[in-house]
Amino acid sequence: MEQEKQRLIIPFIGLNEGIHRFEFKIDSSFFGQFDYSIIEKGEFKIKVEFEKKKNLFNLYFKLKGKITANCDRCLAPLTMKVKGEESLIVKFGETTYNETDEIKVISPAEYELDLAEDVYQFVHTLMPNKVKHEKKKDCDPKIIEQLEKLTTKKASTEVDPRWEGLSQFKDKSE
């Protein structure tokens, strides 16, 4: 049996028009339920301001937490604080799909909103592009040393003869 997924549900069908507030907490098991997640560990508090209107919903998210991922430079696990704000518009259409990152369409047959996928995306959007220890000296020194050996070796031995030929040609033509 498939393990039950952690969902972040807003049961909108029972709500009056107007603003409603929700709070969710996610932890490492949340990230673990997505295949290929680069986040190994993490915990977040998510505050959602949910505005129910007649034909659409406006959602405003505040996310705050920390994640652990591997440093791009030394591959050691690195924990960083992440926070930010995101918004989402939900409108009704024939089927349920994501029109863009900010617009979600749901079928009129739906009665609740599962924000798990959206929150997962938001956390990735808020993450820095490169996960790296701030300073090189904070990285695992053994790994850095090995990597540097590898790259200098590569640079000195791997010269493609075709490029050598080209560079001679270039020299003559100048």
Q: 10, 115 in Cβ contact below 8 A?
A: yes
Amino acid at residue number 126: L
92 within 8 A of 108, measured Cβ to Cβ: yes
28-46 burial, b at 16+ Cβ within 10 Å, e below that, comes to eebbeeeeebebeebebeb
The residue among 8 and 74 lying less far from Zn ion, judged by its C-beta, is 74
Least distance from Zn ion to the Cβ atom of residue 153, Å: 21
Q: How far apart are CA 122 and CA 26, in angstroms?
A: 13
Task: Give CA–CA dist 77/168, Å, rounded.
Answer: 46
- Is residue 133 within 8 A of residue 144, CB to CB? The reply is no
**Is the CB of 74 or the CB of 88 nearer to Zn ion?**
74
Q: Which residues bind Zn ion (CB under 5 A)?
A: 71, 73-74, 133, 139
CB of 85 to Zn ion, least distance (A): 28
Count of alpha carbons within 13 Å of 61, Cβ hemisphere only?
A: 27
Shortest distance in whole angstroms from residue 143 CB to Zn ion: 8
Q: In angstroms, what is the minimal distance from the CB of 76 to Zn ion?
A: 5
Nearest distance in Å: CB 71, Zn ion: 3
Closer CB to Zn ion, residue 54 or residue 130? 130
- 7 or 132: CB nearest Zn ion: 132
d(CA 81, CA 66): 4
Identify which of residues 93 and 141 has a Cβ nearer to Zn ion in the complex: 141
